[in-house]
Amino acid sequence: MITKILFIFIPRNQTYEISSVFSKKLFINFHKYSLYYSKYNDMRPLFIKIKQKYLCVFFIMLNFCVAAQDRLIITEIMANPNNGQLPNTEFIELYNSGEKPVDLSNYKLQVNKQSIELLPRYLASKQFILLVYAPSSSTFERFGNVMPLPRWQALNNSGAEISLIKPDGQLADQVTYSDRWYASSTKRNGGWSLERINPNISCDESLNWSASESLSGGTPGQRNSIWDEYYKPAIQPSIADIQDHSIRLRFPPALTNLPAITTEQIQLHPVGAKPTAIEIDREHLTLIFSTAIPMDTPLELNMVDISWCQLTYQFSIPLLHASPSEYNDIIINEVLFNPKAGGVDFVELYNRSGKIINLQGWLLGNREIIREPHLFYPSAYRVLTTSPETVEKHYPNAQLENFITMSALPPYANERGQVVLSHASVLVDSLAYVSAMHQPFLSDVKGISLERQSLERDTNEPGNFTSASTLVGGATPGYKNSVGVEKNMHNNTITLASRTFSPNGDGFEDQLHFIYAFSEENPMFTLQIFDDRGRSVNRLIRNKSVGQQGEISWDGKDENGHDCTGGIYIFQAEMYTAKGYFQSFKGSFVLVRDSSKY
């Protein structure tokens, strides 16, 4: 129904205010040749080129009653603009995430309970607007929609509570930001804004905000650099404690609103048990079971259809109700305390107990190994370090699937120190090491670990830890030690996998393999190849520590990398120890080339 027809002559460079039948205010400013008009409560800009001195504006005001739900949220905060590329001015960005325009008249911005009234303005659906202190607002005009506020409450760098209050006094949105949200000391020092990640999440803001990733330090008036409408904060709980009839869950500390969970949403797999009651204590949920939780059996706690902040989650949490650990159930197996340049320390553990052990809450020195459940199976290895990637860079055979990343290891001095493993205030194993435990034949021990020789002997028994084999690169992180002592080994032998080899790249016997097995501990080894005239061809191994068992390969090339001709060759090897033991070995083999004839 047509309710009003208006003819208005507007001089250029002037702003006129028109009240509609809804008592809403329309602002017309032809200084920028633009007109904002209302049609079915949808505010859209109309750009008009004006050449004449006056413009006649013809309005037909239609009276429609459309119910619109405000959805005005805070999406960006620049609290510390110093040292940045954006204008050196604080700002707050608002976003209309609803489907209808929002009239900002009588809205209030509160900063630490200090109120500032917003100016009359319509904000269209899916549009942004920047709230800026009026004296500095001109510096933001290039970013789009700006509201210059005559009053401004300074934003604390360390944090503040920002609230957006509707005309009826209800809370539209609220963010209590903190400088901890930057997660970067560089960005915390200024020049970077805090941005909202998912505009559809309206609770637990600390999980939904982070520092801008824009190169300019912020994204005023446009989509945030970390904008993701599908983002789901990680809220999966971890196992805090397990008793015979209860499981205590710990939610992330940043989660201020715990999800509502019923007993029907939880099941212990594969036993099928459901809790009979749930107790809530701040960030914890305690699940009470009527039947005892099985011991030493890997289980899964399944939680389905968990609703939190308009999102739905499914959780599957591994757990183990383990028997109490005993001394030396887990032993220290290898230690690198003097890494290569640019390297990092590591400590390797070995589970010799025959039990599955949960490493959650265990300590290396005074440092927690892992906070989450982590099942350590029998005869398995775990390497504790701050950077698995760095360890792999220096030791390419490292088994990364056996690594646990710690935020920090205890400091281990190069000359002497102590490695201590404990759980629940009970000592499980400890190693007192000194640099002199390395083999005396080694001139440089940097980057060479100390390895355990026997899994059965006491950790600190003299001679049980020695230098890792230099033949394997000086360490064996995540797999069997290079110097492990084998039981029932009485002879020293070197054998050939085959007496002939043909390095022609056909995949069959392309290399000659020397297989050695020594009964002597901590052997040093030398291996040299001669042709049938007794001339040295390749000094393959020169005074290397090799461990008691292993394999050495030769590709048929001399020391300069040239292919050796076909014919009969001789190998000579020497094995010796620091205790004065010496033994030599000799043998022959045939190198076959395509042109060789015998």
At 306, which helix (H) or strand (E)?
Answer: strand 299-308
Give CB contacts under 8 A, 24+ apart, made by 306-309. Answer: 306/259, 306/261, 306/265, 307/259, 307/260, 308/235, 308/257, 308/259, 309/201, 309/202, 309/203, 309/204, 309/257
Domain ranges of the chain: 2-62, 72-211, 239-319, 330-472, 493-591
CATH number of 239-319: 2.60.40
Nearest to 564 by CA among 595, 598, 542, 587: 595
Q: Tokens in use for 268?
A: 């212990």
In angstroms, the CA 596 to CA 598 distance is 7
CB 35 within 8 A of CB 42: no
At 524, which helix (H) or strand (E)?
Answer: strand 524-531
Listing DSSP states for 139-180 in one string gives: GGGGGS-EEEES---PPPSSEEEEEEE-TTS-EEEEEEEEGG
Domains 239-319 and 330-472 share a fold: yes
Q: Give the sheet arrangement for strand 493-496, strand by strand.
A: 493-496, 512-517, 549-554
In angstroms, the CA 21 to CA 97 distance is 26
In angstroms, the CA 316 to CA 488 distance is 46
CB 568 within 8 A of CB 535: no
In angstroms, the CA 169 to CA 384 distance is 55
Torsion, Cα of 251, 320, 241, 365 (10° steps): -100
Under DSSP, the state recorded for 9 is E
pLDDT at 595 (0 to 100): 58
Q: Give the sheet arrangement for strand 299-308, strand by strand.
A: 266-269, 299-308, 311-319
pLDDT at 37 (0 to 100): 39
How many other β-carbons are positioned within 10 Å of the β-carbon of residue 81? 21
In angstroms, the CA 334 to CA 244 distance is 35
Listing DSSP states for 236-296 in one string gives: --EEEEEETTEEEEE--TT--SPPB--GGGEEEETTTB--SEEEEETTEEEEE-SSPPPSS
Judged by DSSP in three states, 97 sits in coil
Largest Cα separation within the chain, whole Å, is 115
* Non-local CB neighbours of 260 within 8 Å, separated by 6+ positions: 307
* Mean pLDDT (10-residue bins), the chain, 598 residues: 40 40 37 37 38 41 41 96 94 96 96 95 96 96 95 96 96 94 92 96 85 97 96 91 93 84 96 95 91 93 92 93 91 98 98 92 96 91 98 97 97 97 94 94 94 94 92 94 68 90 92 91 91 92 86 94 94 89 92 68
Q: Tokens in use for 419?
A: 């490695």
The CA-atom distances, in angstroms, between 534 and each of 456, 531, 567, 571, 586 are: 45, 5, 13, 10, 13
The CA-atom distances, in angstroms, between 26 and each of 22, 29, 31, 363 are: 11, 10, 15, 67
Judged by DSSP in three states, 435 sits in helix
Q: Tokens in use for 99?
A: 């489907």
Q: What angle do CA 167, 169, 174 make, to 5 degrees?
A: 100
Domain 493-591 CATH (choose: 1.10.10.10, 3.40.1190.20, 3.30.230.10, 2.60.40.4070): 2.60.40.4070
At 186, which helix (H) or strand (E)?
Answer: helix 185-188
How many other β-carbons are positioned within 10 Å of the β-carbon of residue 438? 21
Sign of the torsion angle spanned by Cα atoms 5, 8, 14, 19? negative
Sign of the torsion angle spanned by Cα atoms 249, 252, 258, 261? negative
* Non-local CB neighbours of 168 within 8 Å, separated by 6+ positions: none
Indicate the class that CATH gives domain 330-472: mainly beta
CB 74 within 8 A of CB 80: no
Which 3-state string (H, E, C) describes 368-433?
ECCCCCCEECCCCEEEEECCHHHHHHHCCCCCHHHEEECCCCCCCCCCEEEEEEEECCEEEEEEEE
pLDDT at 572 (0 to 100): 94
Nearest to 364 by CA among 417, 420, 406, 403: 420
In angstroms, the CA 81 to CA 149 distance is 18
How many Cα atoms within 13 Å fall on the side-chain side of residue 471?
Answer: 25
Q: Is the peptide bond before 233 cis (omega within 30 degrees of 0)?
A: no
* Non-local CB neighbours of 153 within 8 Å, separated by 6+ positions: 109, 111, 112, 114, 116
User: Which CATH architecture best describes the domain 72-211?
Assistant: Sandwich (2.60)
Nearest to 153 by CA among 109, 111, 107, 106: 111
pLDDT at 18 (0 to 100): 39
The string over 124-152, giving b where at least 16 C-beta atoms fall within 10 Å of a residue's C-beta and e elsewhere, is bbebbbbbbbeebbeebeebebbbbbeeb
